[in-house]
Structures are given as C-alpha cells and as structure tokens.
C-alpha cells in the first residue's frame, strides 16, 4: 500500500471518529437541557403549591386569632359592665367574698358595701307534764313547734370624702321577739378615724357583753345564751370612742341609755324622750396572741393559729323618772363583766361572768345583785363540721323583769346546750342544737325573749330543739 493511500485511510478514520464523538456530545447536551427544563417546571409548581398552602395556613390562623380576640373582647366587655357604672366618675361595682356587693370610686374615697343576713329556723319546745307556767298565757301545750324567720338584715357601710370618714346603716325586718314586720334600723353611725383613735356618733352596740358584741352570724349555737339575753345592754344612742393598738383596745360610750334587766330597749331615743340622767359604758380588751380579727367569731377553723384575749367592761346609768316604765329618779344600775376567749387549731373556748347592782329608794329595790356565767367550747371535726357545747348559769336575785318590783324568791337558771354546725360553703351554714333545762322550773325573768324557743314552766324536763339555715350575702 502506498504511503499516500495509507495516510488517506488514516485521515478518513480520524474524521469518522471525530464525527461520531461530536454526535454523542450533542445528544448528551440535549438530554441535560431537557432535565433542566423539567426541574425548573417542577420547582415552579412546588413554589406555587407552597404559596397556596401558606395562604391557606395564614387564613386559618387569622380566623383562629380572630375568634380568640373576639372572645377576649367579650370577656372584657362583660367584666367592664359588671364593674363600671357612672363612667364619668370612674366608679367600680361588683361582688367580693367577705365584703358583699360593693360600689367604689377609682381612688377608693367613696365606697358602699352592701351585705345581708337571713336566718330561717325550726323550733320545737317541750315542757313538763303540767305544760307552761303562769306566764305562758295560751301557750300551755306540752309540745309546741313551728318555723320562723329569726333575722332578715341589710347592712350598708363604707366611706365618703376619704377613708377616714365612714358610715354604717344596719337594719332588720324582724324585731327582737322574732316578729317579722317593717324595716327598722338597728345601727346608724358616723365614724371618723384619727391618729390611734376612732370617734363614732349615732346608734351602736353598747360596749359591754362580749357575747352580744359578736355578731349573730358568727355564733356557735342557733341563738345566744339566755344569760346574755337577760344581761345584754343592746344598743344606745350617743357618742363612742375607740383607742386601739396591736396589744389592747378601749371602747367607751356615753348616751341616752342602754337596755338592762330592769328596762326595755332604749333604741331610737332622742333628746325629748331621753330616759336617763346619765348613761355610760366602757370595755377594755387585752390581746395575748393572735389578730384582732380572730375574735370577730366564736368559730375556729382547723388551721387557725393560737389567739387569746381577756376582756373587762363596766357600765352604769341613772334614770330620770320621766320615762322607762315609770322608774323613779333614784333608780340606778351598775355592772361589771369579764371574759376570756381562746382559739387554737380547730378549737375555740369562751367563758364570761356578769354582775349587776340595781338600787332605788322608792321602786322596791334596796339593793339587788343578779349575776350569771356562760362557758362554751367548739371543736371543728372537719373543715365543714363543728361540734359545740355551752353551759349557762345565773341567779336573778329576785329581779323579775323590766319595770317590775323584785320578787322575794330567787330565780336560778341552769341550761345545757349541745349541737353542731355544718358549713355548706363560706356563705351558707346549717346549725342544729338541743337545749336541756337542768332546773325544775324556768321563771319568766329568763324567757322574756320568745325568739329563743324557751318557755316559762313549773315542771322539770323542759327541752328545746332548734334547726337553722343561715345565708349571708
């Protein structure tokens, strides 16, 4: 083969090889471009799908947030409607446990708290074989029972101008004998706080018997003891002053007169029918432990800290002879009382003794000295159940009753009361008790409060069963 031919053959082969390689390269480039186009299209589709999903999520979230916001706005509006009135003054209104319903300015300088008390009870009274005694009237059945609304009270209290000027109006639809009727105020006072002292003017409880000073809503038994009902000073119209620090407090009052065993209530008197020449009372309490608020109630909860207090009081008045069941202007009374109160975890103890001296030149009273004693114990078995017992003893020394000449016979009182409290909640309490007369008789001097359930009797075996539901608001 010639050189020229050989070279030609080699050149042709090289040309064919180069041409085949170039064709393969073109095919590869076309495939890659196609893949790139397909990936780009897929990426565009994914981005569009993601955008639609984000739009849907945002719309769903916006709807959820809108619903939540609407709920919050509704709650705020409902709260504002319950708490605001008189919007120009920025007043607030509502209900708070322990304070009742309230109205208040934003700065707290003008306030009104509205609270109430309802006591509905069932009472059964059983006396001896001969029925009621000479003072029982037509009520001579051996066993009497029935229902009564014992207390139906409304209380308005608060402050005006600033927190140092305060007021209280306390009224009841039921009188002391348990008879329901028209509304009459029991307390109406104006108070002013000064440094370490509070001045009070109006009608208020006489600073005397501690059992009477503790509100009826915070007693252990269904009703206070007959010793308290005989000796308590109830309310007086006048001026009072209180001085208090962390260890002691002193309450003193001067006014138109207070209730005693020899006269009826002196509530709602005025300058034209003032029955006394003078009338005053003072009480001193010394706190050994605890807080003052511990002694607002006779109940002790299971987690209560120890609290202990002793108290002393003196009271006296002289009648002017123009009113008060025609008592002479020489009639007068002086009294002393002392008491001890203690609380600890689940237990409360209370004991008091009271003594009075009555004298008059022409009312048949030379010198009569009735006195009495009350002791009671309460024990909380659980947070809801509380058991209690009370013993009452007294001797009237012949002082039979309001405006009546003394009797030659002494009437002694000896009663035992046991029972239980069931606290349904902080505002509703059920109380049941059983009282037994340990004496053979019960004279009229001790039963001048028909609402207690006790009746006059000449026979032994008298007992009283009482059940009461109390609601506070």
pLDDT tens sequence across 108-135? 899 999 999 999 999 999 997 655 554 4
Q: Please, are residues 356 and 389 in contact by the beta-carbon 8 Å criterion?
A: no
Is residue 90 a part of any domain in this protein? Answer: no
Residue 428 in contact with residue 470, Cβ under 8 Å?
A: yes
Of 69-73, 146-150, 349-353, the range with the lowest mean pLDDT is 69-73
Write down the pLDDT at residue 339: 98
| 184 confidence band (pLDDT: 50, 70, 90) | confident
User: And the tokens for 157?
Assistant: 């209290």
Please say if the pLDDT value at position 138 is more than 50: no
**Last residue in a domain, options 61, 85, 109:** 85
Do residues 107 and 71 share a domain?
no
In-domain check, residue 203:
yes
For 197-215, the pLDDT digits (tens) are 999 999 999 999 999 999 9
Does position 68 have pLDDT exceeding 80, yes or no?
no
38 three-class SS: helix
Q: Is the same domain home to 77 and 140?
A: no
- Evaluate whether 211 touches 221 at the Cβ level (below 8 Å): no
429: closest CA among 378, 465, 386? 386
In 3D space, the residue among 431, 380, 449, 381 whose CA is nearest the CA of residue 218 turns out to be 431
Q: What proportion of the chain, given as a percentage, has pLDDT over 90?
A: 55
Lowest mean pLDDT segment, chosen from 20-34, 149-163, 192-206: 20-34
Does one domain contain both 390 and 329? Answer: yes
What's residue 462's pLDDT? 94
Q: Give, in order, the Cα–Cα distances in Å from 214 to each of 12, 120, 245, 444.
A: 130, 19, 20, 26
Return the closest-CA partner of residue 338 out of 213, 250, 209.
209
Q: Of the candidates 384, 391, 471, 389, which has an alpha carbon nearest to the alpha carbon of residue 421?
A: 384
Check which CATH number belongs to the domain holding 399 and give it: 2.40.160.10
Please check whether residue 173 lies inside any domain of the structure.
yes
pLDDT at 30: 65
Instruction: Measure the CA–CA gap between 177 and 469, rounded to whole angstroms.
Output: 19
Same domain flag for 20 and 79 = yes
Q: Of 24, 52, 85, which residue constitutes the final position of a domain?
A: 85
> Within this chain, do residues 178 and 49 fall inside the same structural domain, yes or no?
no
Rounded CA gap, 99 and 103, in Å?
11
| Residue 281 is assigned to a structural domain of this protein | yes
Range(s) of the domain holding residue 46: 1-85
pLDDT at 203: 97
Residue 376 has pLDDT above 80, yes or no: yes
- Does 47 share its domain with 113? no
pLDDT for the residue numbered 352: 98
Per-residue pLDDT, averaged over 371-375, amounts to 97
Contact between residue 210 and residue 219 where contact means Cβ atoms under 8 Å apart:
no
Mean pLDDT of 385-402: 89
- Give the mean model confidence (pLDDT) for residues 164-178: 88
In tens, the pLDDT along 276-297 reads: 999 999 999 999 999 999 999 9
Q: What is the reported pLDDT for 383?
A: 93
**Domain end point (choices 85, 115, 142):** 85
Mean pLDDT score, 134-157: 80
pTM as predicted: 0.78
Q: How confident is the model at residue 458 (pLDDT cuts 50, 70, 90)?
A: confident
pLDDT of residue 66: 66
Is 107 in the same domain as 52? no
* Confidence at 266, pLDDT banded by 50, 70, 90: confident
What DSSP element (H or E) covers 156? strand 143-159
Q: How far is CA 390 from the centre of its chain?
A: 23
Residues 153 and 59 in one domain: no
pLDDT at 1: 45
- C-beta separation of 94 from 101 below 8 A: yes
In this structure, are residues 234 and 265 in contact, taking their beta carbons and an 8 Å threshold?
A: yes
Residues 128 and 81 in one domain: no
Lowest-pLDDT range, 122-126, 182-186, 437-441?
182-186
User: Mean pLDDT: which of 13-22, 48-57, 410-419 is highest?
Assistant: 410-419
Say how far apart CA 104 and CA 157 lie, in whole Å.
12
146 and 248 share a domain?
yes
Number of domains composing the chain: 2
| Whether residue 54 is found in the same domain as residue 199 | no
Average pLDDT (440-464) is 86
Q: Are residue 33 and residue 150 in the same domain, yes or no?
A: no
Average pLDDT over residues 437-460: 86
Asked if 253 and 282 count as a contact pair (C-beta separation under 8 A), the reply is yes
């Amino acid at each position: 083969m010639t050189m020229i031919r050989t070279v030609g053959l080699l050149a042709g082969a090289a040309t064919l090889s180069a041409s085949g390689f170039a064709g393969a390269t073109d095919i590869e480039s076309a495939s890659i471009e196609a893949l790139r186009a397909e990936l780009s299209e897929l990426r565009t589709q994914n981005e569009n799908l993601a955008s639609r999903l984000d739009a849907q999520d945002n719309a769903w979230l916006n709807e959820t947030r809108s619903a939540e916001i609407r709920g919050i706005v509704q709650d705020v509006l409902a709260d504002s409607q319950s708490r605001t009135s008189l919007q120009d003054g920025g007043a607030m209104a509502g209900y708070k446990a322990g304070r009742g319903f309230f109205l208040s300015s934003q700065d707290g300088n003008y306030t009104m708290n509205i609270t109430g008390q309802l006591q509905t009870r069932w009472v059964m009274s059983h006396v001896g074989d001969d029925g009621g005694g000479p003072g029982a009237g037509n009520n001579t059945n051996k066993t009497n029972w029935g229902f009564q609304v014992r207390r139906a009270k409304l209380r308005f209290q608060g402050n005006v101008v600033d927190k140092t000027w305060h007021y209280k109006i306390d009224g009841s639809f039921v009188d002391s004998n348990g008879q329901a009727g028209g509304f009459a105020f029991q307390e109406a006072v104006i108070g002013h706080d000064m440094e370490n002292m509070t001045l009070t003017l109006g009608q208020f409880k006489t600073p005397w018997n501690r059992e009477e000073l503790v509100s009826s809503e915070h007693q252990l038994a269904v009703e206070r003891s007959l010793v308290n009902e005989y000796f308590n000073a109830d309310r007086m119209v006048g001026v009072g002053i209180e001085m208090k620090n962390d260890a002691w407090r002193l309450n003193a009052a001067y006014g138109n007169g207070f209730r005693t065993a020899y006269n009826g209530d002196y509530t709602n008197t005025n300058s034209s029918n003032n029955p006394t020449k003078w009338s005053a009372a003072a009480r001193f309490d010394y706190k050994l432990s605890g807080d003052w608020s511990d002694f607002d109630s006779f109940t002790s909860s299971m987690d209560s800290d120890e609290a202990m207090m002793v108290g002393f009081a003196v009271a006296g008045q002289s009648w002017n002879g123009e009113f008060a069941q025609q008592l002479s202007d020489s009639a007068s009374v002086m009294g002393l009382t002392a008491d001890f109160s203690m609380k600890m975890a689940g237990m409360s103890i209370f004991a008091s003794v009271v003594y009075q001296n009555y004298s008059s030149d022409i009312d048949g009273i030379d010198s009569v000295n009735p006195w009495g004693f009350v002791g009671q114990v309460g024990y909380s078995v659980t947070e809801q159940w509380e058991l209690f017992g009370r013993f009452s003893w007294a001797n009237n020394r012949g002082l039979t009753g309001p405006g009546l000449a003394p009797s030659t016979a002494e009437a002694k009182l000896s009663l035992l009361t046991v029972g239980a409290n069931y606290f349904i909640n902080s505002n509703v309490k059920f109380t049941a008790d059983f009282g037994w007369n340990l004496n053979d008789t019960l004279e009229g001097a001790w039963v001048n409060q028909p609402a207690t359930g006790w009746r006059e009797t000449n026979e032994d075996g008298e007992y009283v069963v009482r059940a009461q539901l109390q609601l506070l608001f």
